[in-house]
Structure formats: C-alpha cells, structure tokens
Amino acid sequence: MAQSLSSSGGPSPRTAFVLAGGGSLGAVEVGMLQALLTWGETPAFLVGASAGAINATYFAAEPTYARTENLARLWCALKRRDVLPFSLLGILRRRGHLVESDALRRLLERHLPYQQLEHAALPVHIVASDMLTGHEVVLSSGSVIDAVLASAAIPGVFPPVQIGSQWLVDGGVANNTPISTAMNLGATRIVVLPTGFACALSRPPSGTIARAMHALSLLVSRQLAHDAERFAGTHVQLRIVPSLCPLNISSYDYSAAVSLIAQARASTQQWLAAGGFEQDWVPGQLQDHHHG
C-alpha cells in the first residue's frame, strides 16, 4: 500500500498520542487534547497508562473534538468517591488493598460504548505492569474495562487485575509514560501529554492514598524527563506538551477539573502558537523542582 506524503515530499509521519498517568491530574490531558485537535493534530493511534488509559479509551471511541467536550463534562462531574470510595472495613479485613475497583468499573461501564479494545474507532493500546516481574504488558485487544482497571491499579490501593495468566497492576510500575511502547508500535512521531505533578504544595498531602499518588506522580515526571533524554536523537520525532506549572493541586484532589482543563487548553494553545512543535526539548516543568 502506498504511503501518503507530507508537505515536504517525504512519507507522512505516523503520529501517536501518549497519555500519561497522574490520578486527578488526568483532567489536564483533556485540555491538551482539545488544543491539539483545534491545531489540526490527528493521531494514528493512542497509548495510555493509568489515568491516561481512561482518557485514551474514552477518546478512542470517537476521536473528535465533541468527544473531548463530553470527556471534559465527565471529569468536571467526577467526585473522589466515584473512583476511590475509601472503606475502613477494607483495612480491617486486611485484604491487601485499600479500595475496591467496583466504583471505577461501574464508571467505565457507563461511559465506554465498546467492550473490546480492538473495537475502538481509533487504535488504542493500554500499558500495565506484571505484578510478579514488574515487566511492561501492552494490552491491544480483549476487555477494555479490565485493561483500564489493570493499568490504573496502584499497588496497595486497588486490587490487581488478572488477565490471562498474569496479575497486572498500574502501568506506572513499568512504564507510566510509554514512549518506548509507541515507538515499538511503529510511531515515527510521538506527542506526549503529561499530567505533571503538584510542584507548589505548601505541605505534603495528608492520608495514605494521597501520599502514594503524589509520590507516583513525581516518579512519572522524572521517568518522562529521563526517557525524553534517552530517546533524543533517534529516528522518532518526540514532542512533549508542557504540563501546568506552578501547580498546587494534589493528584488526589478531584475538585479542580474545571480549572485544570481550562488552564491546560490555554497553555497548550500558547505553546503551539509559539512554535512548540518546532522545539526539540524537555519542558522544564518536568524537571525536578519545587516552588517555595
């Protein structure tokens, strides 16, 4: 089959959008998506991990701007209890995790119109981690609900998900911003949508789950910065949308989606207008820093 040509006369790049995890900060990816679509960006496929898996599978059902508006409404109506219904009884029972995934499963079942990953309108690949080995597991077919639950199963917070013979947990354990996954799937141009991290908190988050999620978001950003440097100079064009900074919203705080989406859309529009896609650099927002 003949390849399409870019305006420069060469083969058009095969673009992948990579959506990272980050708990409630996953809302920023909605604003980024809206800005990218308005700019005319259309991915050939999506790769998502953790919260990014939720956004990726929802958008993949109908990859249009209207779908991102629906996703924005979903995020803005979301309450912490819709995802993390904490139960003291669960701790007392010593079941090995703090939160059951039933609430998140029901949320996904209500809003995802397809049951199998391979039935998405836009190809979507979900990254999880093998709980025994820590190795990355890429899910491209099978139950979309199970794939998302596995990718979002923060160890100790949510229960692991069994798919086939493997017990799977959060994609962040192995590869929470799966640039290498997109490369292996054939992308020649990768656009990363990072959630960033709360760099302007005045004090550490309170509570076991909040602190675990904050620590994971720090790990994700540092890994992304490392991977960006690692893949610099390869045959793949890598562009990372700058995350919000300074940011004083915890990844456990689900009350700020309206503001996060609006800010991310505006900042991404500014980045694009300033020639963001022409710049091959790692945004400073992902580097290790803190606002006193």
CA distance 106 to 231: 38
* Phi, psi angle pair for 137, to nearest 5°: -125, 120
Q: Does residue 237 sit in helix, strand or coil?
A: strand
- Residue 280 near residue 242 (C-beta atoms within 8 A): no
CA distance 110 to 157: 23
Q: At what angle do helices 65-77 and 257-273 cross, to 10 degrees?
A: 150
Tokens linked to 236: 């793949």
**Closest of 154, 163, 160, 166 to residue 83, by C-alpha:** 154
Instruction: Round to the nearest angstrom and report the end-to-end CA distance of the chain.
Output: 56
CA distance 32 to 16: 14
Query: From the candidates 24, 50, 180, 250, which is the catalytic residue?
Result: 50
DSSP state of 155: B
Query: From the candidates 101, 129, 170, 227, which is the catalytic residue?
Result: 170
Q: Is 146 a catalytic residue?
A: no
Q: Residue 214: which H helix or E strand, with range? A: helix 208-231
Q: Is 82 a catalytic residue?
A: no
Which residues are marked as active site? 50, 170
